[in-house]
């Protein structure tokens, strides 16, 4: 019994046949993990199978071994009681990149506008079948290091979620993609949610700034993940000569402290 891992099930079956020196139809196969191309290249999974060659009786002829090239072209057929895939599965032969000689693109050489254009095309393809009624997703250059992604439309506000949980999840997913592939930062706006949060934090920080101006130091209340980042940016922009940093409570809450550098 052998465990085989490959980009696709077909390649996994072919490798198992090669290792056992037999045809694919002679193997007993258990699928441990189906392959997946993930989302935007993230969370990609390989196919994993466990293959075994049943012992044949002495009277049975030995299975005829085939050349490797011929075995790869052999259709994948299992015993009737082991058939688990429909015909449509084998149409995904383009799901994985299998061209090692192809020169990879260096996305970091793209201009900010070229990054925005590519992200706009890909993100609209990703969300074209979403159940929410939204307009075309806008992607533009916010600054030389940041892309602005905007969701608008009748149902756009539903993508924020209660207490912004959908917004945070979507922001996390999109940032990890854009930063990893293009080296850019992300500013995500959904139905003016970010704008409203920035205005709310600005009003809250008025009293905090008064305390800093009079006493030289202050700290905020515990803020939610989105709010703490907004407050951090606003305070650092206003007090570039002071130490402004995020601190954590014992239960995982986040707040910001502001004081002089020599007090740190």
Residue 130 domain boundaries: 109-191
Query: Model confidence over 198-213: pLDDT tens digits?
Result: 999 999 999 999 999 9
User: Distance between CA 43 and CA 61 in Å, rounded?
Assistant: 45
Query: Given this model, what pLDDT does residue 239 score?
Result: 93
Q: How many CA atoms lie within 13 A of 137 on its CB side?
A: 27
Same domain, 64 and 132: no
Q: How many C-beta atoms surround the C-beta of residue 190 within 10 A?
A: 23
Query: Model confidence over 246-258: pLDDT tens digits?
Result: 999 988 888 999 9
The CATH number of residue 235's host domain is 3.30.1370.180
Same domain, 16 and 77: yes
Query: Given this model, what pLDDT does residue 227 score?
Result: 85
* Prediction pTM value: 0.52
User: Distance between CA 52 and CA 17 in Å, rounded?
Assistant: 10
Is 219:255 a contact under the CB 8 Å cutoff? yes
User: Distance between CA 232 and CA 246 in Å, rounded?
Assistant: 8
Give the chain's residues under pLDDT 50.
59-60, 65-107
Same domain, 186 and 203: no
Query: Given this model, what pLDDT does residue 38 score?
Result: 66
Q: Angle at the Cα of 146 (from 141 to 149), degrees rounded to 5?
A: 65
Q: For the chain, what is the domain count?
A: 3
Query: Given this model, what pLDDT does residue 88 score?
Result: 34
Q: Does a structural domain hold residue 103? A: no
Q: Please identify which residue in the block is written with the tokens 């959908």.
A: 166
Q: In sequence order, which ranges of 1-111 are alpha helices (DSSP H)?
A: 9-20, 68-72
Element (H, E) at 81: none
Same domain, 34 and 52: yes
């Amino acid at each position: 019994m052998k465990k085989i891992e490959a980009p696709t099930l077909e390649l996994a079956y072919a490798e198992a046949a090669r290792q056992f020196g037999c045809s694919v139809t002679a193997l007993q196969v258990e699928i441990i993990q189906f392959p997946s191309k993930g989302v935007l290249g993230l969370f990609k999974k390989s196919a994993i199978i466990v293959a075994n060659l049943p012992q044949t009786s002495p009277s049975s002829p030995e299975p005829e071994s085939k050349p490797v090239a011929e075995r790869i072209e052999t259709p994948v057929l299992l015993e009737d009681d082991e058939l688990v895939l429909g015909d449509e599965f084998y149409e995904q032969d383009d799901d994985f990149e299998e061209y090692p000689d192809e020169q990879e693109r260096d996305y970091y050489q793209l201009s900010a506008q070229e990054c925005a254009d590519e992200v706009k095309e890909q993100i609209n393809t990703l969300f074209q079948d979403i159940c929410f009624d939204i307009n075309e997703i806008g992607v533009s250059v916010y600054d030389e290091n940041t892309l602005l992604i905007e969701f608008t439309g009748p149902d756009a506000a539903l993508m924020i979620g209660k207490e912004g949980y959908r917004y945070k999840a979507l922001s996390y997913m999109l940032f990890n993609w854009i930063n990893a592939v293009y080296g850019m930062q992300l500013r995500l706006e959904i139905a003016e949610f970010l704008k409203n949060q920035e205005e709310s934090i600005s009003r809250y920080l008025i009293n905090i700034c008064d305390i800093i101006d009079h006493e030289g130091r202050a700290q905020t209340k515990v803020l939610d993940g989105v709010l703490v980042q907004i407050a951090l940016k606003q305070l650092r922009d206003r007090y570039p000569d002071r130490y402004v940093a995020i601190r954590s409570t014992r239960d995982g809450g986040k707040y910001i402290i502001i004081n002089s550098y020599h007090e740190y």
